[in-house]
């Protein structure tokens, strides 16, 4: 297994190097090499400590970057607290009582400010923490492009509008990703982030009460669908359990691998927005790619890295735009 992991790492590193120019824009490799040489090591060590204490934190930190980049761009607006007339994105419907990991980012920022004051942006911390979280759970490693700066505002309305909902249709997901400059290939690859993490019953209750949504490509003679639904129903019996958690990937919930796509082929994606990738794919092109990922983990890893690089470049602030926040929760005075 160790040999296979390093093979994946070498393959992904090679692909990443060739695509940096495509997705980097104003972002750079080794941006803090001179100004804060230990920046990436500080982030990596403290993400590792946080994930050892709470394995679910890996998925939470990865999700933070998704929810940041889909609103205004990758500018750490998701980290800002409500202040004055500015309402925090943390209070938006997709985020409230759901996003977590803010304290981990706070502590990393504190250490970086001690080492290199007003040098490393909160948005770059999010990008590095997401990469390290994936790698710590057995996923690919890639060189994060850096040089982002932090926003001067947040968008509560944008968080409610642009973050994909767990009950989204396939058409809705495609439109949502297109608004961010991401295509169907990116949608399929980035959805694989659901190979780790958990979701609240509130996020998939509709999945339980709509049994006809499932579609698979084999005869389910052993009634796996009904068994899977009974498991979910036992966890989410009534509204008092809306905040109960279930793994997004029941097979290997602690590992970043390709089992998410195997689940989709079996009709066992947890969220409606997972299952529609198959059930509403009338052309069959998405199903074809899902099948490829299900049988080839390395291919999934390569494409996931490429899409993460692309997503990490959405509407970034660089140069003299924005600022380097001293505290990720507040704009500098």
Annotated binding-site members for heme b: 194
User: Rounded CA gap, 112 and 155, in Å?
Assistant: 26
Annotation says 67 is catalytic: yes
CB 56 within 8 A of CB 65: no
Buried b (16+ CB within 10 A) or exposed e, 297-313: bebbbbbbbbbbbbbbb
Binding site feature residues for substrate: 164
User: Rounded CA gap, 162 and 141, in Å?
Assistant: 28
CB 314 within 8 A of CB 180: yes
CB 220 within 8 A of CB 265: no
Nearest to 162, CA basis, from 235, 66, 278 = 66
Half-sphere exposure in the Cβ direction for 306 (13 Å, CA): 20
User: Rounded CA gap, 59 and 250, in Å?
Assistant: 14
Half-sphere exposure in the Cβ direction for 320 (13 Å, CA): 0
Which is the catalytic residue, given 67, 83, 225, 282? 67
Binding site feature residues: 68, 71, 73, 75, 77, 89, 164, 194-195, 249, 252, 257
Q: Which residues are catalytic?
A: 67
């Amino acid at each position: 297994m160790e040999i296979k992991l390093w093979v994946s790492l070498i393959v992904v590193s090679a692909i990443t190097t060739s695509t940096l120019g495509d997705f980097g824009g104003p972002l750079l490799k080794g941006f803090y090499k001179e100004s804060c040489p230990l920046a990436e090591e500080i982030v990596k060590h403290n993400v590792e400590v946080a994930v050892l204490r709470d394995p679910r934190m890996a998925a939470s930190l990865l999700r933070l970057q998704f929810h940041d980049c889909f609103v205004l761009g990758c500018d750490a607006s998701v980290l800002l607290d409500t202040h004055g007339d500015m309402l925090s994105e943390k209070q938006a419907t997709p985020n409230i009582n759901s996003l977590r990991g803010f304290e981990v980012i706070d502590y990393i920022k504190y250490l970086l400010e001690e080492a290199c004051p007003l040098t490393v942006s909160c948005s770059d911390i999010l990008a590095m923490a997401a990469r390290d979280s994936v790698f710590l759970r057995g996923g690919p490693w890639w060189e994060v492009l850096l040089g982002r700066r932090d926003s001067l505002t947040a968008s509560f309305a944008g968080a409610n509008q642009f973050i994909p909902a767990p009950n989204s249709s396939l058409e809705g997901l495609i439109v949502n990703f297109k608004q961010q400059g991401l295509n169907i290939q990116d949608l399929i690859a980035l959805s694989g982030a659901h190979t780790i993490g958990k979701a609240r019953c509130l996020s998939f209750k509709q999945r339980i009460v709509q049994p006809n949504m499932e579609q698979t490509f084999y005869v389910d003679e052993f009634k796996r669908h009904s068994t899977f639904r009974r498991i979910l129903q036992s966890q989410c019996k009534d509204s008092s359990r809306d905040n109960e958690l279930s793994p997004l990937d029941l097979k290997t919930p602690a590992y970043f691998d390709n089992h998410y796509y195997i689940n989709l082929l079996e009709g066992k994606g947890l969220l409606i927005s997972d299952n529609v990738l198959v059930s509403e794919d009338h052309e069959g092109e998405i199903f074809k790619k899902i099948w490829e990922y299900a049988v080839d983990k390395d291919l999934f890893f390569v494409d996931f890295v490429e899409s993460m690089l692309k997503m990490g470049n959405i509407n970034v602030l660089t140069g003299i735009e924005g600022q380097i926040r001293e505290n990720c929760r507040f704009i500098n005075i």
